[in-house]
Amino acid sequence: MDFDFTPDEEAFRTEVREFLSENLPPRNERPGSFLREWLEKVRARGWVGFSWPKAVGGSDGDVARQAILKEEMALAGAPPLGTSFMGLAWVGPGIIQYGTEEQKTRFIPDILDSKVTWCTGYSEPNHGSDLAAIQTKAERVGDHYRVNGQKIWTTGAPYADWMILLTRTDFNTEVKHDGITCLLVPMKTPGVEVRPIENMAGDRHFAEVFFTDAEVPIENRLGEEGRGWAVTISALANERSSIGEVTQMSGKLEDLKQLVRESRKQGAPASDDPLVRRQIAEFETKIAAMKYNGLRYLTRQLRGQPLSSETSVNKLLRASLEIEMDDFAVELQGQEGVQLQTQTARWARSSLSWPNVVIGGGTPNIQRNIIGERILGLPKD
């Protein structure tokens, strides 16, 4: 057991750190052109789509270097490596795995160059967690599919260029996983209408998307007709180590400790209060658990051993931390905690935003089913 990276890997870490110290000015010293330049620079380094094959413009980066890159970026509080989170997280990998050569050429460079952003048309009004039950219909008409139906909770739809869309091309299959087809749809397609939804924090990041006789060329189908479920599964599974998230949570914990140091509770420093101390220590411990869980799972990947559904462990830990840390910070501040324009209002705002993370990635109850059924082997519901 050791926690050392190889000299080559450490050299890579040094490279990343040096790049960051040269190219990432403090938040309040960044010029207006910063983000565009940042994206160009990290692209030039080959760090966008770092794990993708060189053939499509990636860097064939190995698992250890991926982890190092993620960790250093998160530690430095760096902006994302591209403008399309979903494009990099699963649309790109999906196209690389299932796309035609033509599709790879057409879509991958734009994702890497941050020229387009993608959204994900999975959820429908009546089928939140149950993806396989989708009803949005795609009929083949000549050289295109005619799409009718509705998606909902489509994050980023109000400002996306493209959507990866799950449709049903066959309603008569025995198994509902069959008959699903995956399409890549320009958001400007006639018949595609986006209606933003406001969430409880007042943000409008997600939307309903309506399809009315929207025509999508056949060459925009990803994978075979009726085999879209495989594409989806591989996309959902395309999550790697949670090392970046852990670093983020650690940063948040440091901020929370700072809040504690600056707060008073019942007329005394909050940091002296044993109940406050215990709560912070529990957060610290859970985050450490996420970190070392992540390193154990990373080690398995490095050894080429397959991961089962263990990533659900860190998802559950993160879900509870996301809810509890904000909630604690709001409560600690008493009447000040419930205000949205104070110096520390980030906690109040963030306490209204946890469902993005907690529900978006599969509800905690779904994660518990996954662990119970796939890891512990308990009977299905």
Partner 1 sequence: MNFGFTEEQEMLRNQVVRFIDDECSIDVIRTFDRDTNQALWKKIAELGWVGLTIPERFGGSGLKWVDLTVVLEETGRGLCPLPLTSNALACASILRSGSIAQQQEWLPKIANGSVIFGFGLYDEPNWIDKDAITLEASDHITGTKTFVSDALLATHVMVGVQTKNGPALSIVDGEAINSIALDVMDRTKPAAQVQFDQVPATNDRFIPLTDADLDYVNSCGAVAVTAEMVGAAEAVLALTSNYAKERIQFGHPIGKYQGVKHRLADMFVDIESFKSLLYYAAWCVDDATGDLSQAASRAKAHASDAFAQIGIDGVGLHGAIGFTAEYDVQLYLKRAKWARTMFGDSDFHYNRVATLGGL
Q: Which of the residues 193, 239, 310, 336 is marked catalytic? A: 239
Instruction: Determine which residue in the list 30, 310, 346, 361 makes contact with partner 1, applying CB under 8 A.
Output: 310
158 binding partner (options partner 1, a copy of itself, none; Cβ < 5 to 8 Å by kind): none
DSSP notation for 219-279:
GGEESSTTBHHHHHHHHHT----SHHHHHHHHHHHHHHHHHHHH-EETTEEGGG-HHHHHH
Tell me how far apart the alpha carbons of residues 362 and 350 are, in angstroms, rounded to a whole number.
19
Chain positions 10 to 69 lying near partner 1, rule: CB under 8 A, are 64, 67
Tell me how far apart the alpha carbons of residues 112 and 56 are, in angstroms, rounded to a whole number.
10
Tell me how far apart the alpha carbons of residues 15 and 234 are, in angstroms, rounded to a whole number.
32
Which residue, 18 or 272, is less far from a copy of itself as judged by CB? Answer: 272
Per-position x/- string for 238-277, each x denoting binding to a copy of itself as judged by CB under 8 A, each - no binding? -----------------------------------xxx--
Which residue, 25 or 202, is less far from partner 1 as judged by CB? Answer: 202
Which residue, 56 or 207, is less far from partner 1 as judged by CB? Answer: 207
Q: Kindly state whether residue 140 participates in binding a copy of itself, applying the rule CB under 8 A.
A: no
Which residue, 112 or 119, is less far from partner 1 as judged by CB? Answer: 119
| Two tokens, residue 278 | 């215990």
Tell me how far apart the alpha carbons of residues 159 and 234 are, in angstroms, rounded to a whole number.
25
Which residue, 200 or 275, is less far from a copy of itself as judged by CB? Answer: 275
Q: Kindly state whether residue 367 participates in binding partner 1, applying the rule CB under 8 A.
A: yes
CB atoms inside a 10 Å sphere around CB 225: 18
Non-local (6+) Cβ contacts of 127 within 8 A are 133, 134, 135
198 binding partner (options partner 1, a copy of itself, none; Cβ < 5 to 8 Å by kind): partner 1
Tell me how far apart the alpha carbons of residues 313 and 336 are, in angstroms, rounded to a whole number.
34
Chain positions 315 to 334 lying near partner 1, rule: CB under 8 A, are 316-317, 323, 327, 330-334
Non-local (6+) Cβ contacts of 257 within 8 A are 280
Q: Kindly state whether residue 175 participates in binding partner 1, applying the rule CB under 8 A.
A: no
Q: Kindly state whether residue 237 participates in binding partner 1, applying the rule CB under 8 A.
A: no
Q: Kindly state whether residue 280 participates in binding partner 1, applying the rule CB under 8 A.
A: yes
Instruction: Determine which residue in the list 113, 161, 178, 284 makes contact with partner 1, applying CB under 8 A.
Output: 284
Residue 322 appears among annotated catalytic residues: no
Q: 164: which strand partners? A: 120, 184
Q: Which residues are catalytic?
A: 239
Residue ranges in contact with a copy of itself by CB under 8 A = 273-275, 278
